[in-house]
Amino acid sequence: MKIYFHYSLEGFSNGYLVGNERSKEALIVDPGVMNRELLDHIEENRFQVAAILVTHSHESHWKGLDTLMKIYAPKIFAADAELGGCRTELLQGDGVFTAAGFAVRYFAAPGHSPDSLMYQIENVLFTGDALSAGRLGTTNNDYGKRNLLNHLKGKLLNQNDEVILMPGHGPPTTVGAERLYNIELTRESTIESLPLKDFTTDREPFRYM
């Protein structure tokens, strides 16, 4: 397996070309942009693009679909039935499918968005915006954060420390590194269970002169 990293300046997002050197097939995770660099990597390796995996429906993670579909004829996998006018192979919950000669496991990880998915190929897990190095994905409220935490604790922290995490933004990391340094992910208590402090006092209130 070969993985090529591609960066989209428009959404400051990461995309990945994953090549199968035996079958000469490839899949693309989150094609935020389709540019000459990505095309060169595909053609120089003589890869046939068999699949596109989209982690969630924010446009910066699939904007390159339109151009890709004009050149290749891959299947699109996502938790949305349609993206940018393109029909997809709809994924829900957790499961596994085969693409480009790889067994691809997928995990629902709602929180950053309701349709967030993570994809695992061998010892590499593509997390989308559910998690980046040292940080949880952004959420709109405490419920979304708690929901995301529950999914990540059950589906990411149960992986081996050596599993490599490829996020939608920022550098790669590992499960072991996140277990050690991602405080939001590993702390026992969520916001709702933290004790409230009593800030009452018998002192005179401060007065401006």
115-173: per-residue pLDDT in tens?
899 999 999 999 999 999 999 988 889 888 999 999 999 999 999 999 999 999 999 99
Residue 178 counted as domain residue:
yes
- Is residue 15 within 8 Å of residue 33, measured between CB atoms? yes
Distance CA 159, CA 118 (A): 13
pLDDT tier at 12 (50, 70, 90 boundaries)? confident
Distance CA 149, CA 154 (A): 9
Q: 43: Cβ–Cβ under 8 A, 6 or more apart, which residues?
A: none
Distance CA 160, CA 199 (A): 43
Phi, psi of 53 (to 5 degrees): -110, 120
Q: What is the pLDDT of residue 180?
A: 93
Q: What is the pLDDT of residue 10?
A: 75
Distance CA 94, CA 117 (A): 9
CATH number at residue 10: 3.60.15.10
Residue 196 counted as domain residue:
no
State the average pLDDT for the chain.
Answer: 87
Q: What is the pLDDT of residue 140?
A: 86
- For the ranges 27-36, 57-66, 96-105, the one whose mean pLDDT is highest: 96-105
Distance CA 191, CA 38 (A): 42
Handedness of CA 6, 151, 114, 178 (dihedral sign): negative
pTM, entire model: 0.85
Residue 207 counted as domain residue:
no
Average pLDDT over residues 97-124: 95
Residue 180 counted as domain residue:
yes
Q: Which helix (H) or strand (E) holds 158?
A: none
Residue carrying the six token digits 């935020």: 32
Pseudo-torsion of CA 154, 158, 164, 167, nearest 10°?
10
Q: Give which of 74, 75, 100 is closest to 19, Cα–Cα.
A: 100
Residue carrying the six token digits 């401006």: 208
Say which residue, 43 or 196, is predicted with more confidence. Answer: 43
Residue ranges making up the domain that contains 41: 2-186
pLDDT higher than threshold 90 for residue 179: yes
Q: What is the pLDDT of residue 115?
A: 87
Residue 192 counted as domain residue:
no
Helices (H), the chain: 36-44, 65-71, 142-155, 175-181, 183-186
pLDDT tier at 196 (50, 70, 90 boundaries)? very low
pLDDT higher than threshold 80 for residue 208: no
Residue 122 counted as domain residue:
yes
* The total number of structural domains that make up the chain: 1
Q: Partners of 4 in the beta sheet?
A: 17
Residue 69 counted as domain residue:
yes
pLDDT higher than threshold 60 for residue 88: yes
Residue 17 counted as domain residue:
yes
- Is residue 44 within 8 Å of residue 200, measured between CB atoms? no
pLDDT higher than threshold 80 for residue 190: no
% residues pLDDT > 70 (the chain): 89
